[in-house]
Structure 1
Amino acid sequence: MKKLLQTYLNTFKGLSREVWWLALITLVNRAGAMVIPFLSLYLRDDLGFSLSNVGWVMTSFGFGSLFGSWLGGILSDKLGYYKTILISLLATGIGFLGLQFISSFWAVCLGFFALIAFADMSRPAFFVALSAYSKPENKTRSLTLIRLAINLGFSAGPALGGIIIASIGYYGLFWADGITCMLAGILLIQTLNPKKAKETDQEERIENPLSPYKDRLYILFLIALALFGVVFVQYFSTVPVFYKEVRFLTESQIGLLLGLNGLLIFVFEMPLIAFMERKGWNQIANVISGFIFTALSFGFFYLMGWNGFLVIGMIVVTLGEMIAFPFGNAFALRRAKLGRQGAYMGLYSMSFSLAHIFGHNSGMQLVNAFGYNKTWLVMVAISLAGILLLLYVKKKSLKIKI
């Protein structure tokens, strides 16, 4: 046991102090992100929105994410990652506190658009900061550490969120989210102020770097990731509603099931990524494997009678997530041209924003029109399309060796 623990701890060695601070800031921020996993239930139960209206609110959420990611990429290159992250955290905290007082459909759509735009401004900036604070050989593990912080926060967040809803109601989630965003901003000021933090990436910048919009292979890669995102975001919109309306789980049970995802990632992702890196497997091939596991997870929704199948399905989708996201992030950072990293990672973040725009709403509309079983089949078909596209990207990237 002692040897196993030491092996696990060794996977974290060599990461810079700034990366650890960045991970702690992320943990504080994400631990308070309790509204998002329960958003579809909040809109359905507390505000009384129809499934169709819930889908359109999710679309507003996605458009806000798209705009915020685009703006964050620009600001990261112009203002720097530090100022961009700080503005995002403080503005998001204020937004969460104010959003609880809005209840009409159009106001909620506009409110969530603005909130997520501010929140996702920080996404490309976090990637740029992570790249700046990591040596080239440590970037994939640094990305994994940040994901561990995110998922540890998400493992605690939904579980606490379910308790808060049961005890004081949904409005308590908005207060928790708002306060933790501001705390994360204060922690950023104290630890990663440019006067205190030291960049460790010594890679040279190149002259006149290629715009990501002209990088055809990168665009194809992002389209495939957007398809993956459409499938994956179902676990934050249609799947929680399915858990409640078809499998009759309570909010607390749903919170624990979603929290299992983050807990598994916290325990197993870093050793898994370290093992796969030692094997030297192709990054795109790893993303494809993650995509396959995610698609397979929907098959467990057809197995009725025992809710343990839902737990197994969550384990399978978590395995897919653990493989696909770190290596997808690493490929994007490797592809990014130095000097335009903000633009590259902004576009990378926008691919998932597109998934929020089309994924949540299309999932809700499909459920509303055809039911859950046919919706899961559509998600599997989308997965197959994304896998084929990634196979093409893998073939081309091997030829040009990037």
Structure 2
Amino acid sequence: MKLLTYLNNKIVQPYLDTFNGLSREVWWLALITFVNRAGTMVIPFLSLYLTKHMGFTVSKVGWVMTAFGLGSVVGSWIGGKLTDKIGYYKVMVFSLIGTGFLFVGLQYLTTFYTICMGIFLVMLVADTFRPAMFVALNAYSKTENKARSVTLVRLAINLGFSGGPVIGGLIITAIGYESLFWIDGITCLLAAMLLVMVLRPKKARVLDNIIVENPKSVYNDKIFFIFFAAMVLFGFVFLQYFSTMPLYYKDIYELSEFHIGLLMGFNGFLIFVLEMPLIKKLEDKQLNMVGLMIFGAALMGASLFILNLNHWIGIIIMGMVLMTVGEMILFPFSNAFVMQRAKGGRQGEYMGLYTISFSIAHVFGHNMGMHFVDYLGFDTTWYIMTGLTILCLLLLYWLKVAVEKERLEKIESYK
């Protein structure tokens, strides 16, 4: 009994306390995101599906992934524009419904060109959701809770992803790949139904309704584009964990789809357990946001560099841990950074470009990663990715200097 009391007081209650202060709407948005992402089982296995099931070469898979990224770029841009014009609620509903039907239809495409076209359309419709969701999250969160609100939604995403690959691996083993497309489609439609039920504009409370009479365009924000370039590079490296890395696990370590699913699920489990307490602690310390992003990116680079040190199975687990901690730090604070800069501008544009930075990484990251692996091998690919991370760190340092200079100039202008 004393042990249970001790665990409750020292571990369980402090963990639960990190969730205090978040609005009801943010919790609903997190649940909707969880329902949606829990069904996204095809994505982590897409490269395996195309190579092992459809018989595509690694180079062709790279081009499919490029179509994936192009659809994401166009969808994110359209989503940002539509969010500023018709509002985040309508964009989210239409995106979820459209994605549901498109996911179901994707399984019936069998040729290289039709699959490229299908993946492009799926991602175009699916990623209109992302900038709209970020603007909604901004509206439903108090200023002091922005990073933790982002973290809660990320927890929902990763909880869905942690369960999704494990279940997906079991379904592939027992039934086959085709059933995953049905599950993805149905869960998108369920997420749309939940959104309509609980987050209709008349039901939701807006806690941070920013009205700017003459909003500045993100395209005039030079500092933001330093950040944008750094995020493209970070995304380029990060996305290797969802395209080339499953092939690495399969070819070098001879892991089955089920074991690959478990390893990727471990990433989601760590985020679910550790991210909110970590972000709460870092928020309380009021550390520099860009400095935290630098630390997160450095951990990502280290996670890939150590893969070439040894081919012991423990190395890939260590790499997964480093990558997970890196993304736990970088993503919430990079998102909070964008929310902060978006207050004086068009929020849809800012959030759209933020998501486009990762969409551009999708365009080039998967394809180039696949070609690097095909022509240079895995070891050289990991060294290249480490080099790109170093370039990302240099850009983030430049960003840190530029933001500090901007802050000092504002102080001088007030005197």
Question: TM-score normalized by structure 2?
Answer: 0.95
The aligned runs of 1:216-227 (5 Å cut-off) are 216-227=222-233
Partner of 1:382: 388
- Determine helix, strand or coil for the equivalent of 1:26: helix
Q: Quick check: 1:98 aligned with 2:105?
A: yes
Match of 2:376 among 330, 345, 370: 370
Give the C-alpha shift of residue 208 in structure 1.
Answer: 1.3
User: Does residue 169 of the first structure (1) align with residue 201 of the second (2)?
Assistant: no
Q: Structure 2 residue aligned with 1:196, among 203, 215, 221?
A: 203
Q: Which amino acid aligns with 1:331?
A: F
Structure 1 218/339 Cα, relative in aligned 2: closer, same or farther at 3 Å? closer
C-alpha displacement of 1:52: 0.4
Residues 298, 313 of structure 1: 8 Å contact kept: yes
Aligned equivalents of 1:104 and 1:337: distance in 2?
Answer: 46
CA distance in 1 between partners of 2:154 and 2:69 (Å): 21
Matched, 1:180 2:187: yes
**Could you list the runs of 5+ residues in structure 1 that have no partner in the other structure?**
none
Deviations 1:50-94 (A, max 9, x none): 000000000000000000000000110111000000000000000
CA drift at 1:312:
1.4
Q: Hey, what does 1:119 align to over in structure 2?
A: 126
Selected match of 2:313 from 307, 314, 325:
307
Normalising to structure 1: TM-score of the pair?
0.98
Q: Is the 8 A contact 1:64 1:114 kept in 2?
A: yes
Shift of 1:304: 3.8
**How many pairs are equivalent?**
401
- Superimposed CA distance per residue, residues 160-213 of structure 1 (whole angstroms, 9 cap, x where no aligned partner): 00001001100011011000000000000000011211111144x222111011
Aligned counterparts of 1:313 and 1:365: Cα–Cα separation in 2: 22
Q: 2:48 — aligned with what? A: 41
The residue type equivalent to 2:347 in the other structure is: Q
- 1:202–1:101 distance in 2 versus 1, CA, 3 Å: closer
Deviations 1:343-373 (A, max 9, x none): 1100110000000001000100111111110
Once the two structures are TM-superposed, the CA of residue 307 in structure 1 deviates from its matched residue by 1.2
Aligned residue for 1:369, secondary structure, equals: helix
Instruction: Please give the alpha-carbon distance, in whole angstroms, between the structure 2 residues aligned to 1:296 and 1:194.
Output: 44
163, 185, 193: which one pairs with 1:156?
163
Instruction: Check the 8 A contact 2:216/2:345 in 1, yes or no.
Output: no
- Tell me how far 1:310 sits from its aligned partner: 1.2
Structure 1 CA distance for aligned equivalents of residues 187 and 265 of structure 2: 18
The 8 Å contact of residues 218 and 345 in structure 2, kept in 1 or not, is answered as no
What is the Cα deviation at residue 214 of structure 1?
Answer: 1.1
% identical aligned pairs: 55
Q: 2:115 aligns with which of 97, 101, 108?
A: 108
Instruction: Give the letter aligned to residue 367 of structure 2.
Output: N
Q: CA 1:305/1:63 → structure 2, altered by over 3 Å: closer, same or farther? A: closer
| Structure 2 residue 45 is the aligned partner of structure 1 residue 76 | no
**Distance in structure 2 (CA, Å) of the matches to 1:339 and 1:222:** 16
- Conservation of the 8 A alpha-carbon contact between 1:100 and 1:171: yes
Counterpart amino acid of 1:147? R
Distance in 1 separating the partners of 2:212 and 2:191: 33
Contact 2:217-2:345 within 8 A present in 1 as well: no
User: Any residues of structure 2 matched to 1:49-68 within 5 Å, and which?
Assistant: 49-68=56-75
Q: Unpaired runs of 5+ in structure 2? A: 1-6, 411-415
SS of the equivalent of 2:235 reads helix
SS at match of 1:207: coil
On the 8 A contact 1:292/1:320 being kept in 2, the answer is yes
The residue number in structure 1 matching 2:214 is 208
**Could you tell me how far apart the structure 1 residues matched to 2:209 and 2:135 are?**
14
C-alpha contact (below 8 Å) 1:135/1:202 kept by paired residues: no
Distance 1:197 1:331 in 2: 25
Distance 1:251 1:352 in 2: 26
